[in-house]
Amino acid sequence: MQFTRMNKRAQRLAGMAATALVLALIVYKFSRSPEWRGFNWRLAANLLSHARAGYLLLAVLLVYIGAAIRAVRWKFFLRPVKTAPVWNLFVAQIYGFGSIFLIGRPGEIVRPAYIANREGVSFTSQLAILILERVYDAIAMGIIFALALHFTAVRLTGLGADVLLHRMRQASVVMLLVTAALVLGLVVFRLCAEAVIVFVERRIGFLPARFRSGPGRVLRSLAAGLGAIRSWRDLTASVVCTILLWTLNVTMFWVSFHSLGGELLSVSWWGAGIASFLGGIGLALQLPGVGGGIQIAIIESLKRILGVAPEAAVGGGLLIWAVLTFPVVGLGLVLLPFQRVSFRRLEAMADGEAQRAGAGTYVPHTRD
């Protein structure tokens, strides 16, 4: 048991080191760029210190409403297994995203682990819902980014900017087509999941067992997640929740930018959509307590795509990170005593659930 803990700790440290190295290389490359050498840190700090409180409070409120909508959507996904109180699911969202800030990407599984423990359902069933949630969000983000490139004024600068802009808009059309194909593929997979899984497992049968089992587990988890959608009502509710969620997410970005004023007032709602899309991708590089990837992605999207000055772009990136992080962690700390848990215990709970789940897969069943 102790060896397993040491091994997991070593893996986590290795992952953090790799993330830190990538972020350091990105920052080094930016620092060597001529356009960043004249960066005015005092101007950026002054911009942040004069952010308008009313806009910031609205942005924080939108973050909490977004977490509530995620909880409602999870309730619809969970309904074939159990009817869970929205409050418990809301608390799970707060703990989950707060854990990502404190312990990095491994904190992602805190949400399904907490819900499984709290509601007495299988951890793997909740892991399947997490995968389904990610599919919904990826589709929504792709659509927002593709539409944003057509509805906002993109101001690329530098050599070959016109060609790059043309290629980006072509890529957005391709993204919409790929999204449509993905939705169609999910429908087909939902109807023929077992046949598809068997076909894939046969095709990769030549691989060693340790590599062969992975794709099958992922596909079965995805099938279990899709199996949570049992009716047109559930499908409609989950789609409506996703539309509301990402409308609020982009609005939160837009409101936060406008709180800083200055050049960021020129960022349209669709421009905020571009920043939110790239910020979501940047979340893949997340150091505990520091973040990193999301700030860099937002800063570069504001500066290189939307034509915002570096100082204003840095202010916008740092402010979004703060709005997404501190209110969630703060509320999580307030809720911990009432739930009689700690973030360390949540992490241990997630590790324990993951170890108990092992290679097994749980397929949600309908209620009697």
Residue 68 clears pLDDT 70, i.e. is over it: yes
- 124-173 pLDDT per residue, tens: 778 888 888 888 898 898 889 888 887 877 666 555 556 666 676 677 67
103-107, 221-225, 346-350: the lowest-pLDDT one: 103-107
Q: Is the pLDDT of residue 362 over 50?
A: no
pLDDT band at 368 (very low <50, low <70, confident <90, very high): very low
**Phi, psi of 307, deg, nearest 5:** 70, 25
Q: What is the pTM of this model?
A: 0.76
Residue closest to 47 by CA, chosen among 316, 267, 351, 357:
316
Lowest mean pLDDT of 27-41, 312-326, 329-343, name the range.
27-41
**Are the C-beta atoms of 16 and 104 separated by less than 8 Å?**
yes
Q: Which residues contact 240 (CB under 8 A, 6 or more apart)?
A: none
Domain positions in the chain are: 1-36, 54-357
Judge whether 92 and 116 are in contact, CB under 8 Å. Answer: no
End-to-end CA distance of the chain, in Å? 39
Distance between CA atoms of residues 316 and 299, nearest Å: 7
- pLDDT confidence of residue 284: 67
- Give percent of the chain above pLDDT 70: 66
How large is the average pLDDT for residues 228-241?
A: 81
Tokens of 331: 């509320």
d(CA 101, CA 324): 10
User: Average pLDDT of 265-285?
Assistant: 85
Reported as a single tens digit per residue, the pLDDT across 281-311 is 877 666 554 455 678 888 888 887 888 888 8
Confidence at residue 44, expressed as pLDDT on a 0 to 100 scale: 59
pLDDT category, 15, cuts 50, 70, 90? low
Least confident interval from 38-47, 217-226, 328-337: 38-47
Q: What is the pLDDT of residue 196?
A: 77
> In the prediction, which pLDDT does 42 show?
63
Q: Burial, 61: exposed, middle or buried (Cβ in 10 Å; 0-12, 13-18, 19+)?
A: middle
* Mean pLDDT calculated for residue range 239-259: 94
